[in-house]
Amino acid sequence: MAKIAFLGTGLMGAPMAVNLVKAGHEVTAWNRTPAKAQPVVDAGGRAAENASAAARGAEAVFLMLTDGPAVTELLFEHGVADVLARGTVVIDCSSIPPDTAREHARYLGDRGVSHLDAPVSGGPSGAEDGTLAIMAGGEADAFDGVRALLEVLGRPTRVGPAGAGQMAKLANQVIVALAIGAVGEGLLLAQAGGADPAKVREAMTGGFADSKILQIHGQRMLERTFIPGGPAKVHLKDLRTILEAAKQNHLHLPLSEAVAKLFEDLVAHGGGGYDHSAVLLELERLNQPARLGDRPDTLPDKT
């Protein structure tokens, strides 16, 4: 049994922390909105009044936060790094810029604390089922030391040194964003040409075009249900990071640039809180009056 702090128990973090509790570990959770830590308490964990209290004495500290500035603030401005004992492992599952992850690894390493950047893919359902893809960057010894914890959450793979986990997540987000756009375009084209888009999706099952994106996000598009899931504004944040990383590495990614523009427009039109499959709405705006199906849109509450 390991003593674990889990900082950030939102849509993804809460079920991940619950799975660690169910695996028999001692988990103390913290979230800026205290009520969001309640599922962990209900499962048998504890909640702390602040992040430093949760992290004090922990052998492993998981982070699942919104972005790089939130992680930096929590670690170095709210005192979390100050309470970590030498030998503690910080496992940052947030999606943040690779350079930021490398800085965190360097700063924590100077304090005798190991760091893994270990972003995940699989969405809330993968977090609940313990089937996340976990892309870890950092020292091999640190990864091996917490592999059993990561295996509770899904399938961990060490992909390289510090920052490499975040680079892998950016690659993941490139592929997901382009695939969502491709599914939207394909279904719109099929319908415009007189085919039943639901039957087209069914017909492609098992072929080269089949994928989780086609299965899950294609169904959301057909049902016009855009409750997140993965919010469009979060994917846009990742796309902006992707384009910056491409620039730093002297790459031109025209497909990523095109889909990033679609996400920029979706957020500008008020869809930042919609599921990222709602990029379909931008494709429809570009092709008015084309519209996939005749169902009404199901959108998240904007309050």
Percent of the chain with pLDDT over 70: 99
Close Cβ partners of 199 (under 8 Å, ≥ 6 residues apart): none
Asked if residue 296 is part of any domain, the answer here is: no
pLDDT of residue 289: 96
Give mean pLDDT, residues 128-141: 97
Asked if residue 302 is part of any domain, the answer here is: no
Q: Which CATH number does the domain housing residue 30 bear?
A: 3.40.50.720
Give mean pLDDT, residues 233-251: 95
pLDDT of residue 46: 97
Give mean pLDDT, residues 277-284: 98
pLDDT digits (tens, 9 = 90+) for 156-202: 999 999 999 999 999 999 999 999 999 999 999 999 999 999 999 99
Asked if residue 293 is part of any domain, the answer here is: no
Asked if residue 301 is part of any domain, the answer here is: no
Tell me the pLDDT band of 301, cut-offs 50, 70 and 90.
confident
pLDDT of residue 295: 95
Choose the final residue of a domain: 161, 176, 198: 161
Q: Report the alpha-carbon distance of residue 172 to residue 184 in Å, rounded.
A: 18
Q: Considering 3, 22, 36, 169, which one is annotated as catalytic?
A: 169
Shared-domain flag, residues 78 and 101: yes
- Asked if pLDDT for residue 302 goes beyond 70, the answer is no
- Average pLDDT value for the chain: 96
Shared-domain flag, residues 22 and 101: yes
Shared-domain flag, residues 75 and 141: yes
Shared-domain flag, residues 157 and 171: no
Shared-domain flag, residues 13 and 52: yes
Which 3-state string (H, E, C) describes the chain?
A: CCEEEEECCCCCHHHHHHHHHHCCCEEEEECCCHHHHHHHHHHCCEECCCHHHHHCCCCEEEECCCCHHHHHHHHHHCCHHHHCCCCCEEEECCCCCHHHHHHHHHHHHHCCCEEEECCEECHHHHHHHCCEEEEEECCHHHHHHHHHHHHHHEEEEEEECCCHHHHHHHHHHHHHHHHHHHHHHHHHHHHHCCCCHHHHHHHHCCCCCCCHHHHHHHHHHHHCECCCCCEHHHHHHHHHHHHHHHHHCCCCCHHHHHHHHHHHHHHHHHHCCCEHHHHHHHHHHHCCCCCCCCCCCECCCCC
Shared-domain flag, residues 211 and 135: no
Determine how many CB atoms are found less than 10 A away from the CB of residue 39: 17
Shared-domain flag, residues 14 and 84: yes
Asked if residue 233 is part of any domain, the answer here is: yes
pLDDT of residue 303: 40
Asked if residue 10 is part of any domain, the answer here is: yes
Q: How many domains does the chain have?
A: 2
Dihedral over alpha carbons 22, 234, 159, 116 (to 10 degrees): -60
- Asked if pLDDT for residue 1 goes beyond 90, the answer is no
pLDDT digits (tens, 9 = 90+) for 5-52: 999 999 999 999 999 999 999 999 999 999 999 999 999 999 999 999
pLDDT digits (tens, 9 = 90+) for 63-73: 999 899 999 99
pLDDT digits (tens, 9 = 90+) for 73-118: 999 998 999 999 999 999 999 999 999 999 999 999 999 999 999 9
Shared-domain flag, residues 122 and 72: yes
Asked if residue 231 is part of any domain, the answer here is: yes
Shared-domain flag, residues 47 and 186: no
Asked if residue 299 is part of any domain, the answer here is: no
Structural domain range at position 74: 3-161
Shared-domain flag, residues 148 and 280: no
Q: Is 166 exposed, middle or buried (0-12, 13-18, 19+ CB in 10 A)?
A: buried
Active site residue 237: no
Choose the final residue of a domain: 129, 144, 161: 161
pLDDT of residue 273: 95
Choose the final residue of a domain: 161, 179, 212: 161
Shared-domain flag, residues 208 and 93: no
Shared-domain flag, residues 141 and 242: no
Q: Which CATH number does the domain housing residue 192 bear?
A: 1.10.1040.10
